[in-house]
Chain A
Amino acid sequence: MNGTQEELTGASRFRPGWLLLPASVWWMVFFVMPLGILAAISFLRPGSPVEWSLTAGNYGRLLDPLLLKVFLRSLVMAAAATAVCLAIGYPMAYFMARQPPRLQKLLYFLTLIPLWANSLALTYAWMVLLRSDGVLERGLRWAGAIGPADDLRLLYTPASVVLGLVYWYLPFMVYPLYASLEKFDWRLLDAAMDLGATRWTALHRVMLPLTMPGIIGGCLLVFIPALGNFVVPQLMGGAKQALIGNVIQERFLSQPQDWPLGSALAMTMMVLVTAAVWAYFRYAREEHALG
Chain B
Amino acid sequence: MATVCSSRADQGDGRQVSSTAPVVELRKVSKTLGEHRVLDRMDLEVHPGEFVSLLGPSGCGKTTSLRLIAGFDHPTSGDVYIHGHLVNGSPPYRRDVNMVFQSYALFPHLTVRANVSFGLEMQRLLRPEIESRVDEALGMVRMEGLSERYPHQLSGGQQQRAALARALVTRPAVLLLDEPLGALDLRLRQEMQGELKKLQRRLGLAFLYVTHDQEEALTMSDRVAVMQGGRILQCGTPAEVYEKPRTRFVAEFVGEANILSGRVIGLGEGSASVGTAGGVVRVSDAGGTAQTGREVTMVLRPEKVVLSEASASGHDNRLSGLVEEVTYLGNGTRYRVRVGDRLALTVRRQNAPHERAVGLGEKVFACFPADTVHLLTEE
Residues of A within 8 A of B (CB): 185, 187-188, 190-199, 201, 205-206, 209-210, 291
B107 touches A196 (CB 8 A): no
Option from A188, A197, A209, A291 in Cβ contact (under 8 Å) with B122: A197
- Chain B, interface residues (CB within 8 Å), range: 20 to 34
Q: Which residues of B contact A198 (CB under 8 A)?
A: 91, 93
Q: Does B105 contact A (CB under 8 A)?
A: yes
Q: Does B123 contact A (CB under 8 A)?
A: yes
If A196-B119, A197-B122, A201-B122 touch, whether A191 touches B107 (CB-CB below 8 Å) is yes
Q: Which residues of B contact A209 (CB under 8 A)?
A: 109
Interface residues of B in 337-351 (CB under 8 A from A): none
Q: Does B41 contact A (CB under 8 A)?
A: no
CB distance from A6 to the nearest CB of B (A): 16
Q: Does B99 contact A (CB under 8 A)?
A: yes
Q: Does B249 contact A (CB under 8 A)?
A: no
B72 touches A190 (CB 8 A): yes
If A190-B92, A191-B101 touch, whether A196 touches B109 (CB-CB below 8 Å) is no
Considering residues B71, B72, B122, which has the most beta carbons from chain A within 10 angstroms of its beta carbon?
Answer: B122
Q: Does B170 contact A (CB under 8 A)?
A: yes
Q: Does B150 contact A (CB under 8 A)?
A: yes
Q: Which residues of A contact B122 (CB under 8 A)?
A: 195-197, 201
> A187-B101, A190-B101 known; 4 other A-B pairs, CB under 8 Å?
A188-B105, A194-B92, A194-B97, A196-B122
CB distance from A180 to the nearest CB of B (A): 12
7 closest Cβ pairs, A-B complex = A196-B122, A195-B119, A193-B92, A191-B105, A187-B105, A196-B93, A209-B109
Option from A187, A190, A193, A196 in Cβ contact (under 8 Å) with B170: A196
- Give CA–CA (A192, B170) in the complex, Å: 13
Q: Which residues of B contact A195 (CB under 8 A)?
A: 93, 98, 118-119, 122, 166-167, 170
Q: Which residues of B contact A199 (CB under 8 A)?
A: 91
- Give CA–CA (A195, B119) in the complex, Å: 5
If A191-B99, A291-B150 touch, whether A196 touches B123 (CB-CB below 8 Å) is yes
A–B Cβ pairs within 8 angstroms, 12 of them: A188-B107, A190-B92, A190-B101, A191-B107, A192-B107, A194-B71, A194-B72, A194-B97, A194-B98, A195-B93, A198-B91, A209-B109
Interface residues of B in 83-106 (CB under 8 A from A): 91-93, 97-99, 101, 105-106
Q: Which residues of B contact A206 (CB under 8 A)?
A: 107, 109
Interface residues of B in 122-140 (CB under 8 A from A): 122-123
- Give CA–CA (A195, B118) in the complex, Å: 7
CB nearest neighbor in B for A202: B93
Considering residues A191, A192, A201, which has the most beta carbons from chain B within 10 angstroms of its beta carbon?
Answer: A191
Q: Which residues of A contact B99 (CB under 8 A)?
A: 190-191, 194
Option from B106, B111, B166 in Cβ contact (under 8 Å) with A291: B111
Q: Which residues of B contact A190 (CB under 8 A)?
A: 70, 72, 92, 99, 101, 105
Q: Which residues of B contact A193 (CB under 8 A)?
A: 71-72, 91-93
CB nearest neighbor in B for A1: B152
Interface residues of B in 265-310 (CB under 8 A from A): none
- Give CA–CA (A187, B101) in the complex, Å: 8
Q: Which residues of A contact B109 (CB under 8 A)?
A: 206, 209-210
Q: Which residues of A contact B204 (CB under 8 A)?
A: none
CB nearest neighbor in A for B116: A195
- Give CA–CA (A210, B105) in the complex, Å: 13
Q: Does B108 contact A (CB under 8 A)?
A: yes
Interface string of B165-200 (1 = CB under 8 A from A): 011001000000000000000000000000000000
A185 touches B105 (CB 8 A): yes
Q: Which residues of A contact B105 (CB under 8 A)?
A: 185, 187-188, 190-191
CB distance from A284 to the nearest CB of B (A): 13
- Give CA–CA (A73, B138) in the complex, Å: 53
Q: Which residues of B contact A201 (CB under 8 A)?
A: 122
- Give CA–CA (A219, B297) in the complex, Å: 69
If A195-B119, A196-B122 touch, whether A210 touches B98 (CB-CB below 8 Å) is no
- Give CA–CA (A199, B150) in the complex, Å: 24
Q: Which residues of A contact B72 (CB under 8 A)?
A: 190, 193-194
Considering residues B70, B92, B150, which has the most beta carbons from chain A within 10 angstroms of its beta carbon?
Answer: B92
CB distance from A173 to the nearest CB of B (A): 22
Q: Which residues of A contact B150 (CB under 8 A)?
A: 291
B108 touches A194 (CB 8 A): no
